[in-house]
Structure 1
């Protein structure tokens, strides 16, 4: 596989995660869904950042350390600050006992959307 085909696959993943987050956000107004929505949005952002890096650098971070992914996205000229914000919510959404608010999960969707749009622009505009 090439970096471009890998980027295409990660971009497809990012869209699917974002669509799932949007759908749950729209159909389930309960506060209890906030963590699920945010977690999906975080995964959308990670996949989009991977696609962006693959297109720009021919590689992406495969580290378990989120700081490495932020660093590689910065090196690629991507929106690393947005990825950092998203990843900052990942632990809260996925592992903490107390839940995020719906307002915060909506921000996660907003941030992930920006990363997806950037990756799509990189993919289609080169």
Structure 2
């Protein structure tokens, strides 16, 4: 998927969205709240109070959000792979925390 440029940008954009959703779920589960702010700094700060490693993963994703969603320039395969992995880690942690696994 990442090796196919026509899908790489879509993969990056969806990775960002998946990471945001997973972070919201982790915060909702752990804290009973999630960020509703327009800016993303609050979401990172809130997630930091739960897990600093997950917050760093979210920060990586959010730093590339505009590029993934709005830029006409293609993202590198390395960057896309990093985003997909970061989102995967957030989703895996969300699943483990919500299901007790």
TM-score under structure 2 normalisation?
0.89
CA–CA distance in 2 between the matches of 1:103 and 1:82? Answer: 15
Q: Distance in 1 between matches of 2:26 and 2:4?
A: 33
* 2:93 pairs with 1:124: no
Greater RCO structure (CA 8 Å; 6+ sep): 2
Structure 1 residue aligned with 2:12: 38
1:31, 1:77 → 2: CA distance? 33
Return the match for 2:26 from 52, 55, 58.
52
Deviation track 1:26-59 (CA, whole Å, cap 9, x = no partner) reads 7xx4313222110000001000000100010000
- Choose from 75, 78, 82 the match for 1:107: 82
**Secondary structure of the residue that 2:64 maps to in structure 1?**
helix
4+ aligned runs moved over 6 Å, structure 1 = none
1:69 aligns with 2:17: no
- The alpha carbon displacement at 1:95 in A equals 1.6
Stretch moving more, 104-113 or 94-103: 94-103
Larger proportion of helix:
1
Structure 1 regions of 5+ residues with no counterpart?
1-24
Please give the alpha-carbon distance, in whole angstroms, between the structure 2 residues aligned to 1:105 and 1:94. 12
**How many correspondences in the alignment?**
100
Map 1:8-27 onto structure 2 (within 5 A): 25=1
Runs of at least 5 residues in structure 2 that lack an aligned partner in the other structure? none
1:77 and 1:86 mapped to 2: Cα distance? 16
